[in-house]
C-alpha cells in the first residue's frame, strides 16, 4: 500500500472540487468506524486519520437507525483499503473527504441505503455532479422507504443534536 498524500491535480479532483483544481489524496486501510459518517484510516506510514464523509449526515448513535447506519458503513469499509479525496479539514481536524471503496462512494451508498441524509447545509462544498447524485439518491430512498425512511417522521441528526 503506498501513501498518496500529494498536491497533484487529477481529473477526478477537478470534477470533485468547485473553484479549485487541487485535491489531496490519501490511501489507507479503514481501522475504525465511529458512526455512520465518520471513520478512521490508517496510512502506510502508520498515521491514523479521522475522516468525515462530506455531503451526508447520518443518525447519531443514540438515535433511531444510528447503530444500523454505523454497521452498514462498517460492512462497506471496515478493514478495506480505501482512497480518500479531500481538500480541507473541519473544526475538529477531521479530513472532510470522499471515501472510495473499490471506486464506489461510501457516502452515496449510505444515502442510497436510507441510512443518512443528504446534508444540504454543506452541499455547496460538493461538486455539482455529487450534489445531484446525493439529492436523487435521498429522494429514491425516501420514495422506496428504505432504512430510516421507514419511520413516519424521521428526525434529522442536526435537529436531534439540538434537543
Residue 124 annotated to the active site? no
Q: Which of 52, 70, 112, 138 is catalytic?
A: 52
Q: Which of 25, 60, 70, 112 is catalytic?
A: 60
Residue 47 annotated to the active site? no
> How many Cβ atoms from other residues are within 10 Å of residue 22's Cβ?
13
Residue 60 annotated to the active site? yes
Q: Which of 25, 49, 70, 94 is catalytic?
A: 94
Q: 6: burial class by Cβ within 10 Å (0-12, 13-18, 19+)?
A: exposed
Would you state the cell numbers that stand for residue 91, as one nine-digit string?
A: 473544526
* CA-CA-CA-CA dihedral for 24, 37, 72, 40, to nearest 10: 50
C-alpha–C-alpha distance, residues 161 and 147, integer Å: 20
The residues that are catalytic are: 52, 60, 94
Amino acid at each position: 500500500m503506498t501513501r498518496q498524500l500529494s498536491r497533484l491535480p487529477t481529473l477526478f479532483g477537478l470534477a470533485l472540487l468547485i473553484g479549485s483544481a487541487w485535491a489531496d489524496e490519501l490511501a489507507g486501510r479503514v481501522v475504525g468506524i465511529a458512526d455512520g459518517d465518520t471513520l478512521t484510516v490508517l496510512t502506510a506510514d502508520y498515521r491514523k486519520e479521522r475522516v468525515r464523509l462530506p455531503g451526508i449526515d447520518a443518525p447519531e448513535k443514540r438515535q433511531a437507525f444510528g447503530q444500523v447506519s454505523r454497521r452498514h458503513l462498517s460492512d462497506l469499509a471496515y478493514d478495506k483499503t480505501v482512497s480518500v479525496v479531500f481538500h480541507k479539514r473541519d473544526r475538529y481536524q477531521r479530513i472532510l473527504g470522499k471515501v472510495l471503496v473499490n471506486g464506489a462512494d461510501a457516502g452515496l451508498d449510505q444515502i442510497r441505503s436510507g441510512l443518512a441524509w443528504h446534508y444540504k447545509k454543506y452541499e455547496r462544498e460538493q461538486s455539482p455532479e455529487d450534489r445531484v447524485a446525493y439529492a436523487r439518491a435521498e429522494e429514491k430512498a425516501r420514495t422506496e422507504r428504505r432504512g430510516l425512511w421507514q419511520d413516519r417522521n424521521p428526525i434529522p441528526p442536526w435537529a436531534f443534536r439540538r434537543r
